[in-house]
Amino acid sequence: MDMTSTDQQLHHPLRCQCGEVQGYVVISAAYMRGICYCKDCQSFAHFLGKQQEVLNDLGGTDIVPVAPRGVVFTQGKEWLACMKLGPKGLLRWYTKCCNTPIGNTSTNNKLPYAGLVHDCLEQDGVALEQSFGPVRMQVNPQSAKGPVSAKSAGTAPAMIKWIVMMLREWITGSYRQSPFFVADTGEPVVLPMVLTLQERNALRSRL
């Protein structure tokens, strides 16, 4: 996907590893950047067979939370797939062409949140820090594979920004603008695959 210099200032490229799925993220729609060490994120990486690419040395996933309206697919949306680690789990989105993780969302469009996994944002050589700044938060450190350093500076202001932006999405109705859900019904655009307890436990055994 070609971008002008102006586009690069406003947008961050998004693409899968094989290039079938491409798009961009509107940088102003990003809430913050953080690392999650939870076992569910680790299990998702193992489900895709992408643990080496997705997880850091401590088992963390670099995630950029954004308002869903800020995620735009310009090609290959038909390759989107999603799964749930259990009946009550988040929707975890990926590309079925090459198993590139895209991110996670709630089960409907009422929560204006999409946590984009770094793997789909690092394919075009544009640094995450250039677009979204440094890591502001580290969550679920109890599931890390070793000691996690203190939270990055700026967590409180980033959280305030997140809350304000989410409220604005609700008030304006912009939360309905999501590439992951049907606007009228709030249903996911593809039927999620739900893992059985045995399948989820099998993934957990690899952590």
Pull the structure tokens for residue 128. Answer: 């995450």
Q: Is 7 helix (H, G, I), strand (E, B) or coil?
A: helix
CA distance readout (Å), 57 to 50, 95, 146, 205: 14, 24, 9, 18
Q: What is the mean pLDDT of the chain?
A: 91
Q: At residue 5, does pLDDT exceed 60? A: no
Q: At residue 1, does pLDDT exceed 70? A: no
Q: Give percent above pLDDT 90 in the chain.
A: 74
> Which of 198, 196, 191 has its CA nearest to residue 96?
191
CB 66 within 8 A of CB 114: yes
Output the pTM of the full model. Answer: 0.91
Q: Give the tens place of pLDDT for each residue, 45-102.
A: 999 999 999 999 999 999 999 999 999 999 999 999 999 999 999 999 999 999 999 9
